[in-house]
Chain A
Amino acid sequence: MKPIYQEYFRNNLPHIWCAGCGNGIVMSAWARAMDELKLDKNNVIGVSGIGCSSRITGYLDLNTLHTAHGRALPFAQGAKMARPDMDVFVFSGDGDCAAIGGNHFIHACRRNMDMTLIVINNNIYGMTGGQFSPLTPFGKKATTAPYGSVDPSFNLCELAIGAGASFVARGDIYHAKQLTDLIVAGYKHKGFSVIEVIASCPISYGRRNKIPNPADMMQYVKDHTVAKAVAEKMTPEQLEDKYITGILHEAQGREYTEEYAKLCERVQGGDK
């Protein structure tokens, strides 16, 4: 096995995910980002909620927390408040982050605490048997939508921008090198970084939507993602079922832990 995987992964492989699952691709992209950033793993906290993607922390050799469903962000915020010197990565799925923890997600964006959230969007609740999630595209089938979902889906990146996250990007598993670059950029950004990753679920999502082969699913991800620069030249009709990838929003905002430290100093009489 490659040395970077040995460095950042626990020795408990093979993992539990199905054949062709995108979570493993995100995990290796993250490991390459760690290697590029040369981070000391003793100084990194990995937090996740519940779901297929959230099992990622069970395979990472870091300080990890595997927490309640949808509540990865509150736990991560607690950890960051206690130890602002440590780097926090949060791994979450689309059901975990956008549905069960949707409220925590928008408020985490608003607070703008310095951490990196990686949302692995496989368009479905994979672990619980393939129910449709708020990110299942309109018309796609799921266990609980056998004739196609009639719910419009969230655009998670626009939601994050609207809620006040200071760095919002979208990557996908087909463009794995770009994904590593986005994770590096998200880490370097000071403030709350949201990286949505368009991933594949050949078993729960693909089988019901006539793409059960993992290789075809990779092609599907490739065909449905468009780089931001290319998307600017396309018409809304052409972009209808496409995901725009790249860094979508970057701004400087007040960082929460710094503001809190200033507040403590002020009320304790340091700055009259």
Chain B
Amino acid sequence: MAKKSYDVQVISKLCKACGICVSLCLGKPENVFTQAPDGKAVVVKPENCIGCLNCEMHCPDFCVEVSEKEAE
């Protein structure tokens, strides 16, 4: 079975830089997100996403969106 891949989006306008998504990310081998100098979440490695939805469910500002990519 092919590995599932996910698309991760952050709506920067709504992000309040709390850092919860960064701390809860289970991305393998490393974090999908990083914090920009102003603290806001930035998606750097979407290919690491395992689709656990931790970031999406715990974002207090509704700005993270994870969707499964269509198989190619």
Contacts and interface: CB of A to CB of B under 8 A. Distances in A.
Question: Chain A CB within 10 Å — which of B16, B58, B59, B65 has the most?
Answer: B58
Contact of B62 (A28, A215, A219): A28
A24 B13 CA distance: 16
B14 interface: yes
B58 A218 contact: yes
Interface stretch (A8-16, A85-93, A251-259, A263-271): A8-16
A217 B2 CA distance: 37
B52 to A, nearest CB: 10
B44 interface: no
Contacts, number: 66
| Residue among A17, A25, A32, A202 with max Cβ neighbours from chain B (10 Å) | A25
A102 interface: no
A52 B11 CA distance: 23
A156 B57 CA distance: 25
B19 interface: yes
B22 A215 contact: yes
B11 to A, nearest CB: 6
Contacts of B56: 2
Contacts of B17: 19
Contact of A25 (B11, B14, B60, B65): B60
Interface of A: 1-2, 5, 9, 13-15, 17-25, 27-29, 32, 173-174, 176-177, 202, 213-215, 218-219
